[in-house]
Amino acid sequence: MRVHVADHPLVTHKLTVLRDETTPSPTFRALAEELVTLLAYEATRNVRVSPVTVTTPVAEAHGLAIGDPRPLVVPILRAGLGMLGGMVKLVPTAEVGFLGMVRNEQTLQPDIYAERLPDDLANRQCFVLDPMLATGGSLIAAIDFLFDRGAVDVTAICLIAAPEGLEAVKKATEGREVTIVLGALDERLNERGYIVPGLGDAGDRLYGTV
Ligand SMILES: O=P(O)(O)OC[C@H]1O[C@H](OP(=O)(O)OP(=O)(O)O)[C@H](O)[C@@H]1O
Ligand SMILES: O=c1cc[nH]c(=O)[nH]1
Ligand SMILES: [Mg+2]
């Protein structure tokens, strides 16, 4: 598993405002989109491309086009939806599929309650969006789901992760082509499975639920 933790003042600045409990939902939503755009730059480093030639007003230019089949972007509902706009801004030709997941706050086990993805993901590159990687249970379930459908590699973009969750994902995905791109790797999980210092419940903060 490849892990990349962004080390850039713009990312850290935006994350700092996102973490602040006084930041209201509209600002939180705007920042989540901006952050994913910055992280997507690294996450798409190995996106499949094919060579193309275009004609400029001066000469022929050899370049690249985002590959065929198109990458599949999968936001994990609810909170991952807050990252979708930023991702498709950067990769507008991507296909988008959805996975609805909720973590049982007593057992901390994830449950998949909705799915709208292509049946066959053979040979597809997938980009999973979820702001929080806490115990890792949700991301492991999402990655398993995509590989079971035939995906060949999965890159997850998360704004904040806990070391315990990152380790769990690493163990669970051994031997598979998995990349995790993070805005920050925080200190730990608390006794309720929340990331410390984290930002609280990302879904609630995005959508104003209290
Ligand atoms: O790593 P884990 O311990 O599995 O926790 C992380 C998950 O928890 C949050 O979703 P939540 O279940 O709160 O659903 P929501 O997006 O609808 O708020 C978050 O967006 C992740 O999907
Ligand atoms: O810190 C956490 C843990 C799980 N889900 C969240 O939204 N935040
Ligand atoms: Mg939530």
> What residues contact residue 197 under an 8 Å CB cut-off, 6+ apart?
19, 186, 187
Strand pairing of 49-55 and 60-66?
antiparallel
Distance linking the first and last C-alpha atoms of the chain: 36
181 CB near ligand 1 (under 6 Å): no
75 CB near ligand 1 (under 6 Å): no
Candidate list 12, 27, 107, 209, residue with the active-site label: 107
Distance 79 CA to ligand 3 centre (A): 7
Candidate list 103, 124, 149, 205, residue with the active-site label: 103
Which atom of ligand 2 is found nearest the CA of 134?
Answer: 3
Distance 117 CA to ligand 2 centre (A): 24
Rounded Cα gap, residues 91 and 45, in angstroms: 12
Rounded Cα gap, residues 17 and 175, in angstroms: 37
Q: Containing domain of residue 50, as a range?
A: 2-207
* Phi, psi for residue 157 in degrees, rounded to 5: -110, 120
> What pLDDT is recorded for position 30?
98
ipTM more than 0.95? yes
Joined together, the tokens standing for residue 148 give 């079971």
Block mean pLDDT (10 aa), the chain, length 210: 97 98 97 98 95 98 93 98 97 97 96 96 96 98 97 97 98 97 98 98 91
Number of domains in the chain: 1
Domain CATH for 194: 3.40.50.2020
> What pLDDT is recorded for position 107?
96
132 CB near ligand 2 (under 6 Å): yes
